[in-house]
Structure 1
Amino acid sequence: MATLLLGAAGSLVGGAFFGPLGAVAGRALGALSGSVVDGALLGGSRSNVVQGSRLSDLDVMTSSAGAPVPRIYGRARLAGQVIWATRLEEVVSTKVQSSGGKSSRAQKVTTTTISYAYFASFALGLCEGEVTRIGRVWADGKPLDTSGLTVRAYLGSADQPPDPWIEAKQGAGNAPAYRGLAYLVFEHLPLAKFGNRVPQITVEVERAVGRLEPLVKAVTLIPGSTEFGYDPRQVQRVLGRGAYGAENRHVTSAESDLEASLDQLQAACPNLQRVSLVVTWFGDDLRAGACTVRPKVERTVKDTIPYGWTVGWLPRLLAPLVSDHEGRPAYGGTPSDASVIAAIQNLNARGLKVTLNPFVMMDIAPGNGRGDPWSGAASQPAYPWRGRITCDPAPGSSGSPDGGAGADAQVAALFGTAQPGHFSNYFGGILYMGPAEWSLRRMVLHYAFLAQMAGGVETFLIGSEFAALTRVRGAGGSFPAAQALRVLAQDVKAMLGPGTKVSYGADWTEYGAQSFPNGDVRFPLDALWASPAVDFIGVDYYPPLADWRDGRGHLDAALAEGPYDLNYLTANTRRGEAFDWYYADEAARAAQARTPIADGAYGEPWIYRQKDLWSFWSLPHYERAAGVRAATPTAWTPGSKPFRLTEAGCPAVDKGANRPSTFPD
């Protein structure tokens, strides 16, 4: 009522003073004032409609005919061409909100908001197929996280099927398969963050052109010291309230770094069959009797989701820290048990055979103040190789227990007394209820139990490269480390069953005959290799495969055109250093003064040839005491078990094949 009255009054007053225009303005002002009065006196309601921006054209721009189809070699980033598209899909959302109207005199206002979202479905042709893999994707020059999108990749094979989404839109039998063309299909790509338009897409494409990739059948998965790096699920670090940081995801193409790495690995190496998964505990002393082996963490305080770090029932707050190097952790932490279980299950699901490789890294910082068993110095070398663990003092040093009961005791202390029955599954974690020790046996049996929890592994290694330890002699000329490994292999075999292959990864200088200063020649690991619980001879194989020097004046120049000649390297697996001859010292190496490997006494030079796997495997092993050959062979049965190279390689540096076992930092 007030609206009508005040509108009429405003028209009269405005017309009297300002004419027709005044009458119009007066009526508008009067009506507005009246509506306010009506709302205050009588209540009522009002409706508003807010409409978002809407596209007038839903067509997607397509590429022009006749555009060239690239052919790539190696890796390239390509823009591609739109080869198929639907009209943009429009999704309308309506949201109604009400305000006011809480009292009899308050006006109720209803606001209806209509918004529009757009989605694109299209195929992007990339290059001539067949390619090895399609990797990262960029949209408008920025990395595009495809893990939450529906994106399908076709590598351009000669028999690739039509895309199901294209076929659903075109009709059965009407969709092209684009055989011989590598392409991507985006299904329902949200366009809001691209200004409701199809962004400029570029794609990483890789086509392997070398001969190496198809030959690869097995790889070692490292670093071994990564708290969550092995988890195929995303783990985040809690940085603060509502703030999170990536712990194991630094890619946009998969849920985690491991998933992306394995996808790329299987694409690049189509004949891959096995993966050796390295998991690390840390040793802290080169003296066997004083060395503990335990899991460690990078930081004592680090909150992560969806789960926290644990190994067994050891939580982060109680775990020791890895040492500090230049203000940062010297190593990554031991992988969390949950991440190792998830990695094993993921690898098994991919059809890959898993070797679980419990691994000891020596976390011995500079200035450690621990007596060196080799030199007698006050401190041990920083971050040494585990192959230097030995008795204290080392064999050959004054006062060494080597050859006596003292050596037996020191080796036994390192291995410990943990038993399979000390481990159980307690609410999804591994509960240890054995002696209070951090030992080799505890580490290895822990992971044997974990392998059971994960559903099993194809192969299990009980250790690797304890090269000096397995040479230590106990009372009566025994080899206590080899005997301890034999018992450990039996325990692991009993836990995992006959379907799991069990062995030890010996260093390439360790697996066979060992010569001693008194003229003895022994085969310390033969008792292990002969054990019914051991299925193969494992060797970490890093022998010299070349002896190349700068220029053409060296001895091998006549054998090949260069140090990377394949025939030269292949032939050197059964000739050259560690087979035909050796260098007596570094001076001899510098001068290429080669000493032939020979055995004038018994005509068995192969026992001194570290590269002669063939003779070791096919012949009986006769030990020698003070140079005199034994009448009977060791327990090894010729040809009874296969060799398996548990590691192999060389540093990727100039002339790396000269000394593959030397890894420059």
Structure 2
Amino acid sequence: MATLVLQAAGQAVGGFLGGPFGAVLGRAAGAMAGSFIDQTLFGPGTRRLEGPRLKELHLLGSTEGAPIPKVYGRVRISGQVIWATRFEEVANTRTGRSGGKGGASQPKTKITEYAYYANFAVGLCQGEINRIGRVWADGKEVDISQFVWRLHNGSSDQQPDSLIIARQGQGEAPAYRGTAYVVFEHLPLAKFGNRLPQLSFEVFKSLDDVEKQITAVNIFPGATEFGYDPLPVRRDDGWGGTSAENTHTAAAVSDWSASIDQLQSTCENLETASLVVAWFGNDLRCNNIAIRPGIERRDKVTTPAQWAVAGLDRVTAPLISQRDGKVAFGSTPDDASVIRAITDLNDRGIKPVFYPFILMDIPADSQIPDPHNPSESQPAYPWRGRITCDPAPNQTGTPDKTANITTQINAFFGSAQVADFSIASGTVVYTGPNEWGLRRMILHYAHLCQLAGGVDAFLIGSELTEMTILRDDQNRFPVVTALKTLAADVAQVLPASKISYAADWSEYFGYHPDDGSGDVFFHLDELWASEDIGFIGIDNYMPISDWRDGSSHIDAQNGHPSIYDINYLQQNIAGGEGFDWFYASSADRQLQQRTAITDGAYGKPWVYRYKDLKSWWQNPHFNRVGGVEAATPTLWQPQSRQIWFTEAGCPAVDKGSNQPNVFVDPKSDESRLPHFSSGRRDDFIQRKYIRALTSFWQMQGDHNPLSSDYAGTMIAGDRIFFWGWDARPYPAFPFLENVWADGPNYQQGHWFNGRLGAAPLNALVANILSDYGFAEYQTAEIHGLVDGYIIDRTMSARQAIDPLAQIFSFDGVESEGLLKFRRRDAGATISLSMESLVETKPDKSIINLKRAQETDLPNRVQILFIDGDDNYRQAAVEARKLTGQSQRDLVQEAPAIISHDNAADRAEIALHETWQGRETADFT
């Protein structure tokens, strides 16, 4: 029996405010066809709605009756002058002399100059906003901190401005409630030609609570010479000229200050931040590595600060390698700048955590033998987790599992002692052995944090995954013992700080040698049980999805609607891969051949589950040698330490949640995309990852129980340190590529800058409906992200939503008394057989299928949008069909602020949808 699949049954969201429900949005057959064909310019019955207009709202006006725009997300608008006084004129008279030569007295000349000042208020938009960001005057970004100004955010109970009260009188001054506006007081007009400048403002209005859920972040890049300095530093360019070293915004503050201001205004509930500071390792062989500060160049002269780290200066510090004529990393942060950064965080009320970080500066073709494969050179710019003994375990001649392993491990840590460090003249002085082991790095920074006034927590290392598993001949783990000793030494220097180690998510819970021995070791328990350890640190990049394109893969077949579904993501936080099952090989992953995680010997499958944090935390741990469980447990005491996620994050790339730990960096051999990713930028999956993780772990419950040993839950929900926030302010980074070579990595990377504050499509549509008085609706099924959206004049809700529906391929219908919005690719809503249809006209067929001819379909789809990455200028992208005879164009426009990549993707989808929807069905 033939079956007719209807994509969207029911009635459309007709006129919202403008008319009755009844216009059918979905008439096409097929899951992708939707109503897109009805929204082109071809054929009868075309809808013509005029939504918000695409224009640059950058011209300041003062027009009676001008519409007040509504804004969502982040936008750039100018607004209207809603109040002003006459210009203030200030005369300045000075006396001079003029005349010829000679001894006679010269006549005096009085010169009177006039300066003009303005007092005025600019109405921005309807409704309450969070903040304003950048400000432009006459098209140029300006630092408005040099002026006296005040923002009224448009709340329903805001009070009149003090200046307006002073001029209008008490009780006569309007409060402009429900309208966001800015007041300028005594604005000097000379630099603007003695006139009001054309002002425009970057306005932020959050639509959901993801930003509020973020309480902790990692601040990086870790390698940035003066990038952490609140003090502006300049670089000597010679011949008397200087240029900014760490100031790349219009504001007269350092990049650090501008970026942390952005962070605090974006994440209003931020409590703590981890400051990442990097030294550089030069060899993956632990007995040969030197871990030292690095410098980009020797010939740089800076003022008022000069670079110095751990007793090294520009002359004595090692130079960082170069790739393609550019330095591979920035310099290690200047010691004095780190002190000032810690002080600044404390002054801002942000609890600082110190995170010493090892970056591996090993260029391609280094000719340094790889301990994992001695016949090959070491990989280019590898992960620190690759550091191991020489040769590596399972290689011929390896010292692993022998008494000789301690010699190599001692070389890695070095012999620096607490007594080798002192504080003198505002610096940390070292007088120990001339060596560069891990102990020297960690103890140097412990003393530097002491000099800065202390930190809330201090990490003694991170992700040394191939080091912590090294064993001696007695199955002991000397690296873990050395870390325990180091933690005790740091605790001497920083007795008020919490000390820990940031273990990789694949490392924290145990070691299971892949050698068929059946060994199970809880190898870090000696460290976790130490009285000097304040919490369990985990860099949590566990996968929380296993998504593929199409609908034939297992997770889609199990009823999960999309990778963005919050329930799907949360089910995989303590379930799915790494909990219920694993892939035994890459081939199994391709075929989705999942192997259940079991423990036939002792019925404790949790010992193999890296996601089973609860069982690991609640139970005693028993090592197994040769598959036989020990009679006595390890030193770990159940529920004795809280767990912090010292890192967590997701790259903003297609299917990022499939493999959150990977990153794209062309210089590194570690660079890769997540499993099954197309490489397309996807800010929305990053946002969904944040929401899934925070809403899951910030709640106490059976999944996150209270401890019987300390006051608190298993996971500290307020100590999920997201990776991360760049100390280089957006949009200077990533777009100043002549300053920072890693700018291109931003597009698919883990950065939050410039992404937080965006408007999720479902929240945007919901907010528009709410603003128009609708209360019964469902928008959860539509997915996507725009940076911002503007409704520029009075219109119906349907007119406001329609441009978004066109570009982002969703439809609205009335069903069961609700307005429901669905993606066009969401699959069938209902299936009807021919017997379900009633014949009303015997002389006509129940269904008439029509197929549009090729020349009526577009050869090119163009999308006009506002590019938020280019000072909010108008931009256009297009997609073309490379074959066929059509000469038609389809142009879509919307006042949506979206990224160029996002717009390009939508154009391709629109072109594909139009052609796939060329067949329509009429029902008689």
TM-score (norm 1): 0.87
Task: Report the equivalent of 1:552.
Answer: 551
Number of aligned residue pairs: give it: 603
Distance 2:171 2:281 in 1: 64
Matched, 1:328 2:326: yes
Q: Shift of the alpha carbon at 1:185?
A: 2.2
Q: Per-residue CA shift, 1:611-663, capped at 9, x if unaligned?
A: 11111100000000111100000000000111111111222211121122222
Question: Which one of 202, 223, 226 corresponds to residue 225 of structure 1?
Answer: 223
Separation in structure 1 between the aligned mates of residue 222 and residue 651 of structure 2, nearest angstrom: 18
Preserved CA contact (<8 Å) 1:86 1:121: yes
> In the alignment, which residue of structure 2 is the partner of 1:441?
439
Quote the Cα distance in structure 1 between the aligned partners of 2:170 and 2:444: 55
The structure in which a higher percent of residues are helix is 1
- The SS at the match of 2:135 is strand
Match for residue 617 of structure 1? 617
Q: How does 1:482-497 map to 2 (within 5 A)?
A: 482-497=480-495
Matches within 5 A, 1:46-85: 63-85=62-84
How far the C-alpha of 1:162 sits from its partner, in A, is: 4.2
Deviates more, 1:355-364 or 1:583-592: 583-592
Alpha-carbon deviation of 1:382?
0.5
SS of the residue corresponding to residue 405 of structure 1 reads: coil
Deviation at 1:101, TM superposition (A): 7.2
1:513 aligns with 2:500: no
Q: Which amino acid aligns with 1:82?
A: V
Q: CA deviation at 1:574?
A: 1.9
Task: State the alpha-carbon separation in 2 of the partners of residues 62 and 373 from structure 1.
Answer: 68
Q: Does 1:90 align with 2:89?
A: yes
Shift of 1:295: 0.7
The 8 Å contact of residues 134 and 155 in structure 1, kept in 2 or not, is answered as no
Q: Whole-Å Cα distance in 2 between the matches of residues 431 and 109 of structure 1?
A: 66
Aligned-residue RMSD, C-alpha: 1.9
Query: Cα offset for 1:93?
Result: 2.2
Contact 1:147 1:252 (8 Å CA) reproduced: no
Aligned to 1:628: 628
Residue of structure 2 equivalent to 1:536 = 535
Give, in whole Å, the separation in 2 of the partners of 1:486 and 1:160.
55
Matches within 5 A, 1:12-31: none
Q: CA deviation at 1:136?
A: 0.7
Shift of residue 311, structure 1, vs aligned partner:
1.2
| Cα distance, 1:69–1:489 mapped onto 2, change above 3 Å | same
- Structure-2 change in CA distance of 1:341 and 1:164 (3 Å): farther
In 1: Cα distance, 2:358 partner to 2:180 partner: 44
Counterpart CA distance in 1 for 2:296 and 2:162 is 47
Counterpart of 2:574 in structure 1 is 574
Determine if the alignment matches structure 1 residue 469 to structure 2 residue 467. Answer: yes
What is the 5 A alignment of 1:126-275? Answer: 126-170=124-168, 175-253=173-251, 255-275=253-273
Question: Amino acid of the residue matched to residue 563 of structure 2?
Answer: P
Which of these residues, 320, 340, 365, is aligned with residue 338 of structure 2? Answer: 340
Partner of 2:368: 370
Letter in 2 for 1:500: S
Answer with 1 or 2: which has the greater Rg.
Answer: 1
SS in 2 for 1:156: coil
Report the TM-score, using the length of structure 2 for normalisation: 0.63
Deviation string 1:322-348 (CA, Å, 9 cap, x unpaired) is 110110110011111122112112221
Moved more, 115-124 or 435-444: 115-124
SS in 2 for 1:514: coil
- Mapped to 2, the partners of 1:354 and 1:635 lie a distance apart of 30
CA distance in 2, matches of 1:160, 1:242: 51
Letter in 1 for 2:190: A
Higher mean displacement: 286-295 or 211-220: 211-220
**What letter corresponds to residue 71 of structure 1 in structure 2?**
K
Q: Return the offset for 1:174.
A: 5.5
Give distance in 1, aligned partners of 2:240 and 2:102.
39
SS of alignment partner, residue 540 of structure 1: strand
Q: C-alpha separation between the residues in 2 aligned to 1:162 and 1:403?
A: 75
- Aligned partners of 1:160 and 1:352: how far apart in 2? 28
Aligned residue in 2 for 1:662: 662
Looking at structure 2, the residues matched to 314 and 453 of structure 1 have their Cα atoms a distance apart, in angstroms, of 18
Q: Is the 8 A contact 1:62 1:83 kept in 2?
A: no
CA offset digits 1:337-376 (Å, max 9, x no partner): 1221121122212211211111111010111121100011
3-state DSSP of counterpart to 1:73: strand
Measure, in 1, the Cα distance between the counterparts of 2:174 and 2:302: 47
Aligned partners of 1:490, 1:476: CA distance in 2, in Å? 24
Change (3 A) 1:167 1:349: farther
d(CA) in 2 for partners of 1:263, 1:159: 26
Aligned AA (2:542): P
Matched residues in 2 for 1:445 and 1:179: separation? Answer: 56
Q: Name the SS for the 2:70 alignment partner.
A: coil
Instruction: Determine the structure 1 residue equivalent to 2:382.
Output: 384
Q: Deviations over 1:89-148 (max 9, x none)?
A: 2222233333567744x5635333322122222222211232122011111111112232
What is the alpha-carbon distance in structure 2 between the residues aligned to residue 164 and residue 307 of structure 1? 41
Aligned partners of 1:185 and 1:621: how far apart in 2? 63
- Conserved in 1, the CA contact under 8 Å of 2:61 and 2:79? no
Give the distance between the partners of 1:489 and 1:172, measured in 2 at CA.
Answer: 63
Per-residue CA distance 1:352-409 (angstroms, 9 max, x = gap): 1211111111010111121100011341000000000000000111100001232111
> Could you list the per-position Cα deviations for residues 582-604 of structure 1 after superposition, in whole angstroms to 9, with x for gaps in the alignment?
11111111111222111111111
Match of 1:33 in 2: none
| AA matched with 1:88 | F
Matched residue of 1:143: which SS? strand
Unaligned residue ranges in structure 1 (runs of 5+) = 1-60
Q: Do 2:119 and 2:185's aligned partners in 1 also have CA atoms closer than 8 Å?
A: yes
Q: 1:391 to 1:62 in 2, by over 3 A?
A: closer
User: How do 1:413-452 residues align onto structure 2 when only pairs under 5 Å count?
Assistant: 413-452=411-450
Show the counterpart of 2:878: none
User: Any idea what the Cα deviations from partners look like across 1:44-84, whole Å, max 9, x if unmatched?
Assistant: xxxxxxxxxxxxxxxxx983443332220111111112223
Out of 104, 109, 130, which is 1:111 matched to?
A: 109
| Structure 1 CA distance for aligned equivalents of residues 647 and 164 of structure 2 | 46
Q: Is the 8 A contact 2:94 2:112 kept in 1?
A: yes
Cα distance change, pair 307–175 in 1 and its aligned pair in 2 (3 A): farther
What is the CA distance between 1:293 and its match in structure 2?
0.7
The residue aligned with 1:640 is 640
Distance 1:539 1:612 in 2: 13
Seen in structure 2, the aligned counterparts of structure 1 residues 236 and 177 have a Cα distance that, compared at 3 Å, is farther
Q: Using the alignment, how far apart are the partners of 2:156 and 2:344 within structure 1?
A: 29
In structure 2, the CA distance between the partners of 1:316 and 1:291, relative to structure 1 (3 Å rule), is same
* Partner AA of 1:551 in structure 2: G
Name the SS for the 1:482 alignment partner: helix
Distance in 2 separating the partners of 1:460 and 1:174: 56
Shift of 1:298: 1.1
In structure 1, what is the Cα distance between the partners aligned to 2:604 and 2:342?
44
Q: Are the aligned partners of 1:408 and 1:475 in contact in 2 as well (CA < 8 Å)?
A: no
Contact 1:416 1:439 in 2 (8 A): yes
1:604 is aligned to 2:601: no
Q: Which has the higher contact order (CA 8 A, sep 6+)?
A: 2
Q: 1:190 offset after TM fit, Å? A: 1.8
Check conservation: 2:232, 2:254, Cα contact below 8 A: yes
Contact conserved, 2:127 with 2:178, CA < 8 A, in 1? Answer: yes
Comparing 645-654 with 160-169, greater Cα deviation is found at 160-169
2:312 and 2:163 mapped to 1: Cα distance? 49
CA distance, structure 1, for counterparts of residue 371 and residue 418 of structure 2? 32
